[in-house]
Amino acid sequence: MLKGEKYPHNPANRGYCVVYHENEVNHCPGCGRTHWYVGRVSAECGFCSTALPLKEATSRGVGTHSRGYREVMLTDAA
């Protein structure tokens, strides 16, 4: 952590982040076209296959791959 930096992982400090906005015209950053295949957590350009995360998608919930941490006890393995 740098001196004077309180929150090193602040999303506002990451800069410009391209995301897919639902119910708006979205131009592909790769080819400039507007045809998209929209899924639960991402959208893919129909021409060049550039994938963008959905603005409304969260990192947790139905359809995501996040798993809670659970410590494995060796006594339970028998």
| 28-63: pLDDT as tens digits | 999 999 999 999 899 999 999 999 999 887 655 555
Evaluate if residue 78 carries a pLDDT over 90.
no
Task: Give me the pLDDT at residue 56, please.
Answer: 84
Residue labelled with tokens 């897919």: 20
Strand residue runs (E) in the chain: 36-38, 42-45, 51-53
Sign, CA dihedral 68-71-74-75, equals negative
Task: Give me the pLDDT at residue 33, please.
Answer: 96
- Distance between CA atoms of residues 75 and 60, nearest Å: 31
Q: Does this model's pTM top 0.85?
A: no
Evaluate if residue 8 carries a pLDDT over 80.
no
Buried b (16+ CB within 10 A) or exposed e, 61-70: eeeeeeeeee
Q: Are 50 and 58 in contact (CB under 8 A)?
A: no
